[in-house]
Amino acid sequence: MTTSKHPETQVLHAGFRADPTTGAVAVPIYQTTSFDLGTTQNAVELFSLQKIGNVYTRIMNPTTDVLEQRMAAVEGGAAALALASGQAAITAAITTIAQAGDNIVSGTDLYGGTWNLFAHTFKQMGIEVRFVDPSDPDAFRRAADDRTRAFFGETLPNPKLVPFPIEEVALIGEALGIPLIVDNTAAPLICRPIEHGAHVVVYSTTKYIGGHGTSIGGLLVDAGRFDWEKHADRFPALNQPDPSYHGVVWTEAVKPLGPVAYIMKARCCVLRDTGAAMSPFNAFTFLQGLETLPLRMREHCRNAEAVARTLADHPAVTRVIHPSQFTGEAKARAQKYLAGGNGGLVGFELVGGVEAGMAFIDKLQMLHHVANIGDARSLAIHPASTTHQQLTEERQRAAGVTPGYVRLSIGLEHIEDIEADLMQALDGLGRVSKAA
């Protein structure tokens, strides 16, 4: 078994050598709901966590287990947990340590689904989310109190694409005894949140991890570095007997397995009870994607960088939003946190506002008009008329969405073909505005 620290090697080898019964080199799809428990003594040991093993696929499955081990290795964490979607992963990340009456502090620059979860569904559940401006890390300290159970931020949030101050907020959290959860969906490999101090990393594997655009999935990686016992008053969920699991105290019960109290509670209680499990088939498709992630991320970054340069020179474009074009504080953040590349997302603003944004999308011939990111294919969307349509123009602007803003997720096609499609759509706009 490899102990390589290189992601290019880990994505091919970590967590699996060959199937013990058949010798299969590709990870088999264990499409089964249940596993034979063997002797009653064996069953007792499995159910009391004296021993970890497969019981029922809602909680654990051998195909999914390889994805989890591989992602934990790639991310530099202690353990991982796969879930049915990115949204399920974020929900589990928070509800493992927060309950009604508790709060978390989150940066405002969030994926829309996360925003809805935090502002509405968590509120209904009694978990308050305090939103703060992530350009001011100290705002996290000011918003925290005794009931704060986590800090939350997105590494590379669109549309602004200004990286989250991971290290700054993680250090504030360390001092207060509050873990930092980072959604790294838009920046796998190019940003390594655990190296900057993040305690839990969340993914929508739907995006770059898969890359093929075939499967919805999510994943949590536990860095295994947060000292839950030292902050026992803040984290009764992990330090007091858990009535839902025969009175187990998670920080004590899992000690022989390593620093995995958080992820074990997430698996054995939250996933067990809420049931948002990843299917073994989807775990298999994510393993296929993961094998080429390092190669793909390099190419996404290279193509996006070229597109950003080309767009910046076009007369119909007033502004390009891409880390390579930043100045000042945003540039410093990008250089610090995007050491492995600036990512595949590019935003730009069109002179002609909403009409130009919509016309541009309609003129695209190759790029897909899709509300997704991270696909091998290049994608485009005009947020003001779609994802951000329900917001007033003022609130759209606060979110970084101007009327003529277009978001691109640059894929792996040949750069000349990507640019040719963008250029013909942009040039078409010129004719429209002249004719009008």
Ligand X SMILES: *Cc1c(COP(=O)(O)O)cnc(C)c1O
Q: Which residues bind ligand X (CB under 6 A)?
A: 85-87, 111, 113-114, 154, 183, 185-186, 204, 206-207, 216, 218, 373
> Rounded CA gap, 357 and 349, in Å?
8
Q: Which is nearer to ligand X, 185 or 310 (CB)?
A: 185
Cα angle, residue 225 at apex, residues 62 and 343 outer, rounded to 5°: 75
Question: How do 368-369 and 345-350 pair as beta strands?
Answer: unpaired
| Nearest-approach distance from CB 298 to ligand X, in angstroms | 20
Give the residue carrying structure tokens 């935003």. 347
**What is the 3-state composition of the chain as percent helix, strand, coil, each rounded to the nearest 5?**
45, 15, 45
| Nearest-approach distance from CB 110 to ligand X, in angstroms | 8
Helix (H) or strand (E) holding 203: strand 200-204
Q: Which is nearer to ligand X, 373 or 408 (CB)?
A: 373
| Nearest-approach distance from CB 282 to ligand X, in angstroms | 11
Q: Which is nearer to ligand X, 153 or 357 (CB)?
A: 153
Strands (E), 313-436: 317-321, 345-350, 368-369, 379-381, 405-409
| Nearest-approach distance from CB 279 to ligand X, in angstroms | 13
> Rounded CA gap, 419 and 397, in Å?
27
Q: Which is nearer to ligand X, 95 or 185 (CB)?
A: 185
| Nearest-approach distance from CB 277 to ligand X, in angstroms | 14
Q: Which is nearer to ligand X, 103 or 185 (CB)?
A: 185
| Nearest-approach distance from CB 274 to ligand X, in angstroms | 14
The DSSP output letter for 323 is G
Question: How do 180-183 and 200-204 pair as beta strands?
Answer: parallel
Q: Which is nearer to ligand X, 148 or 204 (CB)?
A: 204
| Nearest-approach distance from CB 237 to ligand X, in angstroms | 23
Whether the CB-CB separation of 28 and 39 falls below 8 Å is answered with no
Per-position DSSP letters for 235-297, written without gaps between them: -HHHHS-BGGGTTB-HHHHTGGG-S-HHHHHIIIIIIHHH--PPPHHHHHHHHHHHHTHHHHH
> Rounded CA gap, 210 and 212, in Å?
5
Q: Which two tokens stand for residue 222?
A: 């536990």
Cα angle, residue 141 at apex, residues 137 and 146 outer, rounded to 5°: 150
Q: Which is nearer to ligand X, 52 or 276 (CB)?
A: 276
Q: Which is nearer to ligand X, 86 or 411 (CB)?
A: 86
Of all residues in the shown chain, the one whose CB is closest to ligand X is 86
| Nearest-approach distance from CB 183 to ligand X, in angstroms | 5
Q: Which is nearer to ligand X, 204 or 396 (CB)?
A: 204
| Nearest-approach distance from CB 133 to ligand X, in angstroms | 18
Can you state the angle between helices 280-291 and 293-312, rounded to 10 degrees?
60
Nearest CA-CA partner of 303 in 174, 212, 169, 417? 417
Report the SS3 class of residue 400: coil
Q: Which is nearer to ligand X, 184 or 402 (CB)?
A: 184
> Rounded CA gap, 226 and 351, in Å?
48
Half-sphere exposure of 245 (CA within 13 A, CB side): 24
| Nearest-approach distance from CB 147 to ligand X, in angstroms | 25
Q: Which is nearer to ligand X, 186 or 316 (CB)?
A: 186
| Nearest-approach distance from CB 372 to ligand X, in angstroms | 7
Nearest CA-CA partner of 90 in 172, 241, 203, 5? 203
